[in-house]
Amino acid sequence: MPQGKPETVPADGLTTRQRRNRPLLIVHTGEMKGKSTAAFGLALRAWNQGWPIAVFQFVKSAKWKVGEENALLALGETHDRTGQGGPVEWHKMGAGWSWSRKQGDEEDHAEAAREGWREITRRLAEERHTLYVLDEFTYPLKWGWITVDEVVTTLTSRPGHQHVVITGRNAPEELVAAADLVVEMTKIKHPMDTGAKGQKGIEW
């Protein structure tokens, strides 16, 4: 990570402390692995701070990322049992959102994605969590299921001190413009280039 002095000091009237504690909108995009894993790595730091964390997986199939899900939920259990770290919630679209009554096969993916976003909007208004991971959220934006304008307006006007991390390829320009921190994961080399397939513990 970039260390040391900031390159410029803005004339925004904020103290360093206020600027330091600014809630961040973070985007992990690009074609390569690492977008979601880096978001879940950030969740480890957040957990250690005792922050309430919620992950929202915007994927059609819920079979992926069970490793991260189990591990982060285990950390949430450690919190519930010992008070160490923060509480963790994990919600996924693929099998019906955990808070929703509609479980099982979700026929209308677009509506399911919108339902997820509406819940996130409610939680942001209530300041329910300190870190939100909106995993693969760029896809419902790209497919027009949720409008980017609405998302940007909601996120940039969110109250309190809530960090939001959005992952996925092809982050829309308006989202990048609104974000505080944007990382692109770029491929230099991938095993699939030479015919390898995904494997447990690495891809899931």
β-bridge mates for residue 56, sequence order: 91, 134
Residue with smaller CB distance to a second copy, 22 or 102: 22
- Look up tokens 């505080």; give the residue: 180
Answer for the pair 59, 204: CB distance below 8 angstroms, yes or no.
no
Among 62, 71, 95, 148, binds a second copy (CB under 8 A): 71
Check binding of 49 to a second copy (CB under 8 A): yes
| Dihedral sign (CA 91, 139, 66, 42) | negative
CB atoms within 10 A of CB 61: 10
Check binding of 59 to a second copy (CB under 8 A): no
Check binding of 95 to a second copy (CB under 8 A): no
CB atoms within 10 A of CB 59: 20
d(CA 27, CA 6): 20
C-alpha atoms less than 13 angstroms from C-alpha of 185 in its C-beta half-sphere: 19
Check binding of 162 to a second copy (CB under 8 A): no
Residue 38 Cβ vs a second copy, minimum distance, rounded to whole Å = 4
d(CA 187, CA 145): 28
Residues 6+ apart with CB under 8 A from 39: 26, 28, 133, 135, 165, 167
Residue with smaller CB distance to a second copy, 53 or 120: 53
Check binding of 76 to a second copy (CB under 8 A): no
d(CA 190, CA 1): 23
Check binding of 15 to a second copy (CB under 8 A): no
Of residues 112-131, those binding a second copy (CB under 8 A): 130-131
Among 55, 63, 70, 154, binds a second copy (CB under 8 A): 70
Q: Which among 93-101, 117-125, 139-147, 188-196 is the span making contact with a second copy, rule CB under 8 A?
A: 188-196
Check binding of 141 to a second copy (CB under 8 A): no
Residue 100 Cβ vs a second copy, minimum distance, rounded to whole Å = 25
Check binding of 148 to a second copy (CB under 8 A): no
**How many positions of this chain bind a second copy (CB under 8 A)?**
79
Residue with smaller CB distance to a second copy, 82 or 157: 82
Check binding of 174 to a second copy (CB under 8 A): no
